Copies of this chain bind each other. A is one copy, B any other.
Amino acid sequence: MAPDHLSTTFAALADPTRRAILARLVSGERSVTELAAPFEMSLPAVSKHLRVLERAGLIARGREAQWRPCRLEAGPLKEVAEWTERYRALWEQRLDRLDTYLQQLKTKEKTHARKKRRQ
């Protein structure tokens, strides 16, 4: 069974080098040599990462024979953002609960300090 589109995207993002490549492409098109420069990695190793990103639709390559620049394609990242969005209420609730708990702790501390001063 062919993996679904979102799974292919997540798998492509499950690597720090591939995420670093995407981050570098935010500022514009880059050649493979330019992308390889900051990594201690051979060109074939970088090319392999680029193929994974290309298959996931996260980058596209130019057609110039000499210089096939890579550019970022943000569509799949939008899908990831939309997928996570349905869970937003959960982490916001959690932070709200933590906030309530901290407020309660602070109130207790204040009451405790007041009692101590009276003694």
A-to-B contact residues, CB < 8 Å: 3-4, 6-8, 10-11, 13-16, 19, 22-23, 26, 72, 74-75, 77-78, 80-81, 83-88, 90-91, 94
A78-B91, A85-B81, A87-B26 known; A14+B11 contact, CB < 8 A = yes
Residue in contact with A91 in the complex, picked from B22, B23, B77, B85, CB distance below 8 Å: B77
A84's closest neighbor in chain B, by CB? B81
State whether A10 touches B7 (Cβ < 8 A). Answer: no
Which residues of B sit under 8 angstroms from A15, Cβ to Cβ?
A: 7
State whether B86 touches A74 (Cβ < 8 A). Answer: no
Distance of A17 Cα from B8 Cα, bound (Å): 14
Which residues of B sit under 8 angstroms from A19, Cβ to Cβ?
A: 6-7, 83
